[in-house]
Amino acid sequence: MATLIKHFQIGTRYYSGLSRSVKARKYVLTKYFDGEPKKTDFKIVEEELPELKNGEILTEAEYLSVDPYMRAYMIGYKLPTDMIGGQVAKIIESRNEKFPVGKYVAGSFGWRTHTVCNPSEQPKQIFLPLTLLPELGSYPVSLGLGILGMPGNTSYFGLKEICKPKPGETIVITGAAGAVGSHVGQIGKILGCRVVGFAGTDDKCEYLIKELGFDHAYNYRTSNIKAALKEAAPKRVDCYFDNVGGEISTTIMNHMNHYGRIAVCGSISSYNDSILPKVTILQPAIVFKELKVEGFLVNRWVNRWEEGINANLNWLREGKLKYQERIYHGFDNMVEALNGILRGENTGKAIVKVK
């Protein structure tokens, strides 16, 4: 591993004075997932990194993200392939004056410890654009993977641009205690809406109501969903932020108001299933209630990325947005962490502290 000796500036370039021959450790997927991801689906390999060219930076990962899309997307890659994923990393060597040594970036570098890249060349398939983290003061840089990163922007743009909630309307959220769901609910409250969440444990529901200000929250494993909706949304549902898919989504869509809006964000209830579940037909509700159902990928708003980050950062500073992190430890525990979110271990954002 590289040793940081000293930083010095030559002209407009910033060098860290690293001893060379930096090796990255990275996860390579060698077998497609079958059910829960397994450690044996991966090999951890070492990769020698090249010297920096003009414009490039070398980063060292501090926090790696585990997100549901990692379970869903790998089937689309030819094996063997480097594992995908976001990370917050420190710049430890730089030949790019806009990205000086010591600053932090968030980027889609994958499950790896060190990365050489040119920030002005964004990869074609981006899950999270490479961005320099704003000054966060006393907030941890790991927020660049949560409320100030991809999940934060998923919540901000998904709710505002697709659900378009108006004050006084009722929003229902599934996966409500996770990174996206807990954030969507808080934005809903900021916008003056009635917010109802469904999550997987009583403790999570208590957190949503007592800490985050949700009006109602129900344990979807133990509640009667129809009865819960009648109680929590007596004027029916105007906006549904769907993180899970499946039968609960059909039930919620049948309880919506005329011209209701549904943001289809994900369908985590089926990500580990090889045979996709069948659910009750949705079209009658969509037609008779004239619902607007729209799926989205957050990178639709890549050109407005900073707007979302700044809005969330302002709300955080104003005390209107709270967060929780479930921190796993160690680069070797990435698979355990990924399975953790698929099993519902997390409240808020799940991340891995590399060292």
268 in contact with ligand NAP (CB under 6 A)? yes
Single out the residue of 247, 273, 250 nearest to residue 262, CA to CA: 250
Chain position carrying tokens 């996966």: 175
Q: Residue 25 belongs to what H/E stretch?
A: strand 23-29
**Does residue 266 bind ligand NAP (CB under 6 A)?**
yes
Count, in order, helices (H) and strands (E) of the chain. Answer: 9, 18
- Pick between residue 154 and residue 312 the one whose CB is nearest to ligand NAP: 154
Q: Binding of ligand NAP at residue 62 (CB under 6 A)?
A: no
CB-nearest residue to ligand NAP: 178
- For residue 80, how many other CB atoms are within 10 A of its CB? 12
CB of 113 to ligand NAP, least distance (A): 23
Q: Which is nearer to ligand NAP, 99 or 157 (CB)?
A: 157
Nearer to ligand NAP, 15 or 69 (CB): 69
Question: 196 with 233: CB under 8 angstroms?
Answer: yes
Q: Give CA–CA dist 182/170, Å, rounded.
A: 16
* 296 belongs to the binding site for ligand NAP (CB under 6 A): yes
Rounded to whole angstroms, the Cα distance separating 120 from 193 reads: 40
Instruction: By CB under 6 A, tell whether 243 contacts ligand NAP.
Output: yes
Task: Tell me how far, at minimum, the Cβ of 71 lies from ligand NAP, in Å.
Answer: 8
Residues 185-224: x/- map of binding to ligand NAP (CB under 6 A)? --------------xxx--x--------------------
Closest contact distance (angstroms) between CB of 129 and ligand NAP is: 13
Question: Residues 4-43: x/- map of binding to ligand NAP (CB under 6 A)?
Answer: ----------------------------------------
DSSP-assigned states of every residue in 185-254: HHHHHHTT-EEEEEESSHHHHHHHHHTT--SEEEETTTS-HHHHHHHH-TT-EEEEEESS-SHHHHHHHT
User: Does the protein bind ligand NAP through residue 244 (CB under 6 A)?
Assistant: yes
Q: Would you count residue 73 as binding ligand NAP (CB under 6 A)?
A: no
Cβ closer to ligand NAP: 55 or 140? 140
Phi, psi of 77 (to 5 degrees): -105, 145
**Segment interacting with ligand NAP, rule: CB under 6 A, options 6-14, 43-51, 250-258, 262-270:** 262-270
Q: Among residues 154 and 186, whose Cβ is nearest to ligand NAP?
A: 154
The residue within the footprint of ligand NAP, chosen from 25, 31, 69, 140 (CB under 6 A), is 69
Nearest to 252 by CA among 223, 216, 228, 287: 228
Smallest separation (angstroms) from ligand NAP to the CB of 282:
17
Nearest distance in Å: CB 347, ligand NAP: 7
- For residue 346, state whether it binds ligand NAP (rule: CB under 6 A): yes
Per-residue b or e along 134-166, where b marks 16 or more CB atoms closer than 10 Å to that residue's CB: eebeebbbbbbbbbbbbbbbbbbbbbbebbebe
Which range binds ligand NAP by CB under 6 A, 39-47, 63-71, 222-230, 252-260? 63-71
Residue 298 within binding range of ligand NAP, rule CB under 6 A: yes
β-bridge partners, 349:
325
- Are 185 and 195 a contacting pair, CB within 8 Å? yes
Which residues from 142-181 bind ligand NAP, rule CB under 6 A? 151, 154, 175, 177-181
Kindly report each contact of residues 16-19 with a partner whose C-beta sits within 8 Å and lies 24 or more positions away, as own/partner. Answer: 16/58, 16/92, 16/93, 16/94, 16/101, 18/58, 18/92, 18/93
C-alpha to C-alpha distance for 338 and 1, rounded to whole angstroms: 26
Residues at the site binding ligand NAP, with contacts judged by CB under 6 A: 67-69, 151, 154, 175, 177-181, 199-201, 204, 243-244, 265-269, 296-298, 341-342, 344, 346, 350
